[in-house]
Structure 1
Amino acid sequence: MRSLFLAISLATGAHAALVEQPVIYQQGGATLEGFHVYDNAVTGKCPAVLVIHQWTGLTDYEKRRCRMLAELGYNVLAADIYGQGIRPKPPEAGKEAGKYKGDRKLFRDRMLAALELLKADERTDTSKIAAIGYCFGGTGVLELARAGTPIAGVVSFHGGLDAAPGMAAEAGKIQAKILVLHGADDPFAPAEQVAAFEKEMNEVKADWQLVLYSGAVHAFTQKEAGDDNSKGAAYNEAADRRSWDAMKTFFAEIFK
């Protein structure tokens, strides 16, 4: 993968280092800036993970998750859905996210552009690619699955589960295995939405799993969300830890 920027190596051990670099790419006339990380001690081709950001765009939060994944031996690329330099704060973040939730085709196209970069990287084993996403990005990776994207699996962390009108999953189309990690008390994706998702997945005979975390609301993996559940979004240490472990178990299965 080529970049206009010099790679930065971060020492993580005596014999290994994470190499990270911004990656500039294009989609539909928009300039996007992703974030690529890998462990230079890993030789040959390896499984790869595409990371889709939450509603404020590609931030230090996603970069930290990318490093955590790279430390596990994965070739990792965080996509940029919004565009270079577009990193909105609330309430503007809601408006920006709404553009893509309201135009799921554009949302899918932005993710697919990043996926093509990841697939083209010399380190990627193209038979072993997954996508994960947080909140807005959790919604996104389910769109990749619904679109029939030929990847091994997707993991949604506290994402929206609803399908856009006319864009629900179709029988026989979903190729990716699906893992949904969800707060049992999430007010932004309540029980009715969960039930509708289950019905949709069952009707098309998708390979899916859903884990509900008690006492967890939206954004339960993000310390930046604070600890007040009454706001509807809050960090939950147990759900954060358990969901990360569930993702690792899922990857061990789909990448075997």
Structure 2
Amino acid sequence: MRFVFALLMIGMGASLVQAEVQTKEVTYQDGDVTLEGFVAWDPAAISEPVPGILVVHQWMGQTNYERGRCKQLAELGYVAFALDIYGKGNRPANPQEAAKVSGTFKNNSALYRKRLNLGLQQLLAQKGVDENQIAAIGYCFGGKGVLELARSGADVDGVVSFHGALDSPSPEDGKNIKAKVLICHGADDPFVPEADIDAMKKEFNEANVDWQMIYYSGAVHSFTQPMAGNDNSRGAAYNAKADQRSWVAMKAFFAELFD
């Protein structure tokens, strides 16, 4: 009996190990440009296909921040893939470089949307992903990115923009949006003009987009990112309460999409 019990304990231990979130880097191409994504999943959760979540990085490129979010999403039972817009090894060293690199894509929506959709293709190719249950989330530069992904006509169920740019550069593209939209926005964000918000709302309403927007009091830009510091006067700062509340809102949004 002791031997049998020991075998059972070993088996339980193996199961516990298998239940841990696993990760890997994924290299893919856009022509001659090599891109490097990151995927996280819980092997115990994907015995049957589960929803896949695309994660779009902020303007410093894909970092440990996005990878951490992928792991959190995997703990919730999803397969999460952090794409790479900039290219392998192309990581800005400071905000000035980040503004230049991100601006290249903001000013070239065709290239931006191409890289977003290439990332989506990689997510769909991952083991355990239910191709009929897909969402995307993005932060700052990536918050705008998920809206651009939706505007490209991508077949995704929903997108969540965290403190992203909310301009409407091509209002006619609103008609391409198939996804439901959740926007989590800092009420005191100085980098997002009210005129942009009004234009976005007009675009979405005229296209009959199913959208919702939540304002977080006392929050400025980058409110989900601890690396932004805590000085609101700089216009970008972490806000723990807004971070937690927006994550809860995202989970409720996903429950609506996938349940």
- Structure 1 length-normalised TM: 0.92
Unpaired runs of at least 5, structure 2? 1-13
In structure 1, what is the equivalent of residue 7 of structure 2?
A: none
Residue of structure 1 in register with 2:79 after alignment: 75
Structure 1 residues 65 and 221, CA gap change in structure 2 (3 angstroms): same
Who is 2:48 aligned against?
44
The CA distance in 2 between the partners of 1:135 and 1:12, in whole Å, is 38
Distance in 1, matches of 2:187 and 2:172, equals 24
- The equivalent of 2:8 in structure 1 is none
Percent identity of equivalent pairs: 54
Letter matched to residue 207 of structure 1: D
Cα-Cα RMSD: 1.5
Structure number, greater radius of gyration:
2
Gapped regions of structure 1 (runs ≥ 5)? 1-10
Correspondence for 2:57: 53
- 1:179 paired to 2:167: no
* Cα deviation digits, residues 37-67 of structure 1 (max 9, x gap): 1001111210000000000000011011110
**Which of 99, 102, 113 is matched with 1:97 structurally?**
102
User: Following the alignment from structure 2 to structure 1, what is the Cα–Cα distance between the partners of residues 136 and 173?
Assistant: 20
1:26 alignment partner in structure 2? 29
Q: Which runs of 4+ in 1 moved over 6 A?
A: none
Offset, 1:12: 11
Give the Cα separation in 2 of the matches to 1:12 and 1:54. 36
Counterpart in the other structure of 2:155: 150
**Relative to structure 1, is the Cα distance of residues 107 and 20 closer, same or farther in structure 2, using a 3 angstrom cutoff?**
same
CA drift at 1:27: 1.0
* Structure 1 residues 177-204: Cα deviation after superposition (integer angstroms, max 9, x where no partner): 0000000111111222212111111111
Question: Which residue of the partner structure matches residue 3 of structure 2?
Answer: none
CA distance in 1, matches of 2:22, 2:67: 12
TM-score (norm 2): 0.91
Asked if the contact 1:16–1:39 (Cα under 8 Å) also holds between the matched residues in 2, the reply is: yes
How many pairs does the alignment contain? 244
Distance, in Å, in 2 between the alignment partners of 1:12 and 1:51 is 28
AA partner of residue 53 (structure 1): H
1:164-243 matched pairs, under 5 angstroms: 164=169, 167-170=170-173, 172-243=175-246
Map of 1:253 onto structure 2: 256
Could you tell me how far apart the structure 2 residues matched to 1:106 and 1:206 are?
24
